[in-house]
Chains A and B, each alone.
Chain A
Amino acid sequence: MTEADRIPVTPTSANWTPEQKAEFVRRRRGRNWALFGAMVALCLLIYAIAVVKLYHAGHMW
């Protein structure tokens, strides 16, 4: 056993197995969809708040 064999391999994307790569992609896709959903929901919420505020202020309809 050489000295190099005894040094633990640091897990990096360079030495991923295909399963690890697939899992990474799956998790990233899940996070991105969740973030997209949160952003859309926030936009809709701010829009709804603006409509309600303007309505109560008598600036709409």
Chain B
Amino acid sequence: MRASAPAGVAEPALLDQAILGATTSDWLALLKPRVLYLVVYTGAAGLLVAPGPLNPVLAFTAILCIAMAAGAAGAINMWYDRDIDAIMRRTAKRPVPAGRISPSGALSFGVGLSFLSVLLMWMATNLLAAAILALSIAFYVFVYTMWLKRRTPQNIVIGGAAGAFPPIIGWVAVTGHLALLPLVLFALIFIWTPPHFWALSLFASADYEKAGVPMLPVVAGAKATRRAVMSYTLWMVPISLLPYVLHEAGSFYGASALGLGAAFIWYAIGVMRDRQDATGVSLTRDAPAKAAFKYSILYLFLLFGALVVDHFL
């Protein structure tokens, strides 16, 4: 059963906008395009570092399917979370809570696109890649969105797995089987997700609290969240070095991972040492957390970029 938003909060009313109909950009917004960049990028990296050739048309289709599947999962997430999205300032203008797209329209769009992406992936590459793609959608929708998000502060720790599938899918699309490197890349994104989202939740915790989402700063406080960002970052750096240690990547990647990881630790220290009150609430408007959040995105871009460059060196 669905854990509902705080009592007294009604379903968002359809505004006049609804009757005028949505624009094309509203439908595109359902796909959470800003999230897609990293998903497509890491999926493409998995595809590029996989051994063996893949026809450019099929490679393009595989990446398109990864993007479509991630977008479809985002649309279903917006359908399910429409009540809490209406409460949070960051999400209140999304097409469903703002009334520009009906909930059933968003759900149909997401489900339809999910099936299309999986079938197209199967047609263009292989059954295993399509199955893992379907699993990633199901994980995001059922495990993260419906089960974990409203119930536990560990929501993004376990739910982070959903965003870690793309390199595996890209790899399997080329080779047709699993291997050590894509599993290490999965682990890397999995362990990268908590410090990335907890840095965000440090400066967006008021929104989450209002909506009753048990993010770590809401449940355990800002101080514990700062410590968690630090400890996950310290776990992440050795994992990022595994491709080099296991001889799956060369010294260019190893040096890049070391330098980028050291910078991540420096940002995490900044989050830990931010000027704060007794409860850990920032006195600097969470400037270090904002910087760490931005850097975490850059980190993943550069790290996977280094892996691809290293592969072709």
Find the A residue at minimum CB distance from B125.
Answer: A49
Question: How would you classify the secondary structure of chain B's contact residues: helix, strand, loop or mixed?
Answer: helix
Interchain CB contact under 8 A, A11 and B16: yes
Question: Given A31-B24, A31-B27, A49-B61, do A12 and B123 touch, yes or no (CB 8 Å)?
Answer: no
Q: Is the CB of B123 within 8 A of A49?
A: yes
Q: How far is the CA of A12 from the CA of B24 in the complex (A)?
A: 22
Q: Which of B16, B21, B58, B123 contacts A31 (CB 8 A)?
A: B21
Q: A45-B61, A49-B123, A49-B124 are in contact. Are A12 and B55 (CB under 8 A)?
A: no
Known A-B contacts A31-B27, A34-B27, A46-B123; A23 and B20 likewise in contact (beta carbons under 8 Å): yes
A27 touches B21 (CB 8 A): yes
Q: Contacts A31-B27, A34-B27; is A52 near B58 (CB within 8 Å)?
A: yes
A3 to B24, CA, bound (A): 40
Residues of chain B having any CB pair with chain A under 8 Å: 16, 19-24, 27, 55, 57-58, 61, 64, 120, 123-124
Interface residue count on the A side (C-beta < 8 Å) = 19
CB distance from A40 to the nearest CB of B (A): 15
Once the chains are docked, how many angstroms separate the CA of A46 from the CA of B21?
30
Report whether A52 and B57 are in contact in the complex, using a CB–CB cutoff of 8 Å: yes
C-alpha gap A23/B22 in the complex (Å): 11
The answer to whether A49 and B27 touch across the interface, beta carbons within 8 angstroms, is: no
- Name the distance in Å between B216's Cβ and chain A's nearest Cβ: 39
How far apart sit A26 and B19, CA to CA, in the bound complex (Å)? 13
Give every chain B residue within 8 A of A27 (Cβ-Cβ): 20-23
Given contacts A11-B19, A27-B23, 17 further A-B contacts (CB under 8 A): A11-B16, A12-B19, A13-B19, A24-B19, A27-B21, A30-B24, A31-B23, A33-B24, A34-B27, A45-B120, A48-B57, A49-B57, A49-B58, A49-B120, A49-B123, A49-B124, A52-B55
Interface string of A18-61 (1 = CB under 8 A from B): 00100110011011011000000000011011011000100000
A-side binding surface: helix, strand, loop or mixed?
helix
Q: Which residues of chain A are near B120, meaning CB under 8 Å?
A: 45-46, 49
Partner of B21, one of A12, A24, A34: A24
B19 to chain A: which residues have CB within 8 Å? Answer: 11-13, 24
Known: A34-B27, A49-B123. A28 touches B21 (CB 8 A): yes
**Residues on B with beta carbons closer than 8 Å to the beta carbon of A34:** 24, 27
Chain B CB count within 10 A is highest, among A20, A24, A31, A49, for A49
Q: How far is the CA of A12 from the CA of B18 in the complex (A)?
A: 10
Chain A residues contacting B20 (CB-CB under 8 Å) are 20, 23-24, 27
Q: Could you show 8 A-B contacts with beta carbons less than 8 Å apart? A: A12-B19, A20-B20, A24-B21, A31-B21, A31-B24, A31-B27, A45-B120, A52-B55
Chain B residue contacts of A20, Cβ below 8 A: 20
- The interface residues of chain B lying within 8 Å CB-to-CB of A12 are 19
Q: In whole Å, how far is B265's beta carbon from the nearest beta carbon of chain A?
A: 44
A34 to chain B, nearest CB (A): 4
Residues of A within 8 A of B23 (CB): 27, 30-31
Report the Cα distance A46→B61, complex, angstroms.
9
Nearest CB on A from B102, distance (A): 14
